[in-house]
Amino acid sequence: MELPEAADFRETTSLTVEELSDGIRCFTVRPLHSQRWGLQLLAGSLLFAALSASLPPPLIVVAVLFALGATARAAFSVRLESLLVMEGIGLQLTTRFTTGREKVVFVETSAVSEMFISEAVRLDCCFFYMACLLHGDDLCHQPSLVVPFRELQPSLRQLRRIYRGTRAVLMGEEEGTWQEGSRHGEDT
């Protein structure tokens, strides 16, 4: 299967890679266009117009619900997602919301069986994602998937860079050896 060129997709996120020390690398993804205040200003303007124009009560209720929905959406939107890769220790996945709340997940290196980039299809779009397959500790625990950058969905070009860098730190592979169509960094 041939993957589409990265230039075919419009990038909606920016990627920052930091080498914090030997064996520790941080990949941070942020949205390119912050919609922090745009929707709230629109909702507030509509609400103000509805209240000042003495519109019928049903339209005022619709304007109030729209304003509340826009504010709630902004409060739960993601400001950044990061993947901190530490050699011999593991992965730390962080999601930071516009409200300042953070969600942090840690995965030990020994729990990671495999990493891969895959394609997902929704009714309205198609996108790529990176996932880590975690194996169960014993017979009671089933294998599971952890998906870094679940909310912001970096482009395929950015995911390739993250994938190569993560495997280089976590699994000791050379960054330049992974190519399309190869597995585990082996050249085809």
Which CATH number characterizes residue 103's domain?
Answer: 2.30.29
The closest of 87, 177, 90, 157 to 117, measured between CA atoms, is 157
CA separation for the pair 128, 135 (Å, rounded): 22
**How many domains does the chain fold into?**
2
Mean pLDDT of 94-108: 91
Examine the pLDDT at 57 and tell me if it is beyond 70.
yes
Contact of 70 with 43, CB cutoff 8 Å: yes
184 found inside a domain:
no
44 found inside a domain:
yes
Q: Which pLDDT score, from 0 to 100, does residue 138 have?
A: 63
Contact of 18 with 156, CB cutoff 8 Å: no
Of 11-15, 42-46, 99-103, give the lowest mean pLDDT range: 42-46
Determine the residue type at 143: P
Mean pLDDT of 38-53: 64
Angle between helical axes of 38-52 and 57-75 (0-180°, round to 10): 160
Contact of 64 with 47, CB cutoff 8 Å: yes
Examine the pLDDT at 38 and tell me if it is beyond 70.
no
Of 34-38, 88-92, 123-127, give the lowest mean pLDDT range: 34-38
Share of the chain above pLDDT 90, in %: 41
Q: Which residues pair with 27 in a beta bridge?
A: 17, 83
| Residue 116 belongs to domain spanning | 11-31+81-173
**Do 151 and 71 belong to one domain?**
no
Helix (H) / strand (E) element for 86: namely strand 78-86
Helix (H) / strand (E) element for 67: namely helix 57-75
Examine the pLDDT at 74 and tell me if it is beyond 90.
no
CA separation for the pair 97, 129 (Å, rounded): 20
Mean pLDDT score of the chain: 80
**Do 56 and 87 belong to one domain?**
no
Q: Which pLDDT score, from 0 to 100, does residue 1 have?
A: 47
**Do 101 and 17 belong to one domain?**
yes
Of 6-10, 17-21, 74-78, 134-138, give the lowest mean pLDDT range: 6-10
